Amino acid sequence: MVGSRTLTAVVGLLVSVLVTVALWWYFETLLVFLFLPFIPVLFRGFGGDSGPTIVQECPHCGFQATSEAYDYCPRDGSRLEEPERE
Protein backbone atom coordinates (compact mmCIF):
# COMPACT_ATOMS: atom_id res chain seq x y z
CA MET A 1 0.00 0.00 0.00
CA VAL A 2 1.26 3.47 -0.89
CA GLY A 3 1.33 6.08 1.88
CA SER A 4 -0.31 9.48 1.55
CA ARG A 5 3.04 11.30 1.55
CA THR A 6 4.35 9.11 -1.25
CA LEU A 7 1.17 9.62 -3.26
CA THR A 8 1.35 13.39 -2.74
CA ALA A 9 4.99 13.44 -3.86
CA VAL A 10 4.24 11.42 -6.98
CA VAL A 11 1.26 13.60 -7.93
CA GLY A 12 3.33 16.74 -7.33
CA LEU A 13 6.13 15.42 -9.51
CA LEU A 14 3.73 14.47 -12.31
CA VAL A 15 2.05 17.89 -12.22
CA SER A 16 5.46 19.59 -12.27
CA VAL A 17 6.56 17.57 -15.27
CA LEU A 18 3.28 18.21 -17.12
CA VAL A 19 3.46 21.96 -16.51
CA THR A 20 7.09 22.04 -17.62
CA VAL A 21 6.37 20.08 -20.81
CA ALA A 22 3.44 22.39 -21.56
CA LEU A 23 5.67 25.44 -21.10
CA TRP A 24 8.34 23.85 -23.30
CA TRP A 25 5.77 23.22 -26.01
CA TYR A 26 4.34 26.74 -25.74
CA PHE A 27 7.65 28.67 -25.61
CA GLU A 28 9.60 26.19 -27.80
CA THR A 29 12.77 26.39 -25.71
CA LEU A 30 14.52 23.98 -23.39
CA LEU A 31 15.17 26.74 -20.83
CA VAL A 32 11.81 26.00 -19.18
CA PHE A 33 13.34 22.78 -17.81
CA LEU A 34 15.39 25.00 -15.51
CA PHE A 35 12.12 25.90 -13.74
CA LEU A 36 11.05 22.29 -13.04
CA PRO A 37 12.45 22.25 -9.48
CA PHE A 38 10.79 25.60 -8.66
CA ILE A 39 7.19 24.78 -9.58
CA PRO A 40 6.35 23.31 -6.13
CA VAL A 41 7.73 26.49 -4.51
CA LEU A 42 5.19 28.57 -6.43
CA PHE A 43 2.30 26.70 -4.79
CA ARG A 44 3.77 26.50 -1.28
CA GLY A 45 1.48 29.18 0.15
CA PHE A 46 -1.71 27.31 -0.77
CA GLY A 47 -1.14 24.43 1.67
CA GLY A 48 -2.87 25.94 4.70
CA ASP A 49 -1.01 26.31 7.98
CA SER A 50 2.78 26.17 8.19
CA GLY A 51 2.99 22.94 10.16
CA PRO A 52 2.19 21.22 13.42
CA THR A 53 2.06 23.26 16.61
CA ILE A 54 4.57 22.17 19.23
CA VAL A 55 2.67 21.55 22.47
CA GLN A 56 5.41 20.15 24.70
CA GLU A 57 9.12 19.38 24.42
CA CYS A 58 11.78 17.45 26.28
CA PRO A 59 14.29 19.69 28.06
CA HIS A 60 17.06 17.09 27.67
CA CYS A 61 16.89 15.60 24.15
CA GLY A 62 14.68 18.11 22.32
CA PHE A 63 11.81 15.72 21.46
CA GLN A 64 8.79 17.79 20.45
CA ALA A 65 5.24 16.54 20.94
CA THR A 66 2.41 17.93 18.85
CA SER A 67 -0.28 16.31 20.99
CA GLU A 68 -1.35 16.55 24.61
CA ALA A 69 -1.21 12.73 24.78
CA TYR A 70 2.44 12.74 25.87
CA ASP A 71 3.48 13.46 29.44
CA TYR A 72 6.95 11.93 29.28
CA CYS A 73 9.61 11.76 26.60
CA PRO A 74 9.62 8.41 24.77
CA ARG A 75 13.41 8.66 24.31
CA ASP A 76 14.68 9.24 27.84
CA GLY A 77 11.62 9.28 30.12
CA SER A 78 11.95 12.92 31.17
CA ARG A 79 8.84 14.96 31.96
CA LEU A 80 7.84 17.13 28.99
CA GLU A 81 7.59 20.89 29.48
CA GLU A 82 5.86 23.75 27.69
CA PRO A 83 8.13 25.23 24.99
CA GLU A 84 9.49 28.73 25.49
CA ARG A 85 7.60 31.30 23.40
CA GLU A 86 9.59 33.94 21.57
Same domain? For 41 and 56 the reply is no
Same domain? For 8 and 39 the reply is yes
Question: Structural domain tally of the chain?
Answer: 2
pTM, rounded to two decimals? 0.39
Give the pLDDT confidence score for residue 68 in this predicted structure.
84
Name the residue range of residue 67's domain: 52-86
- In angstroms, the CA 80 to CA 66 distance is 12
Give the pLDDT confidence score for residue 51 in this predicted structure.
64
Same domain? For 57 and 24 the reply is no
Same domain? For 63 and 34 the reply is no
Give the pLDDT confidence score for residue 41 in this predicted structure.
64
Give the pLDDT confidence score for residue 46 in this predicted structure.
63
Same domain? For 42 and 59 the reply is no
Distance of CA 85 to the CA centre of its chain: 23
DSSP symbols for 65-85: ESSTT-SB-TTT-PBPBPPPP
Same domain? For 8 and 25 the reply is yes
pLDDT tens digit string along 15-58? 878 887 887 888 887 776 666 566 666 666 665 556 678 789 99
Same domain? For 12 and 36 the reply is yes
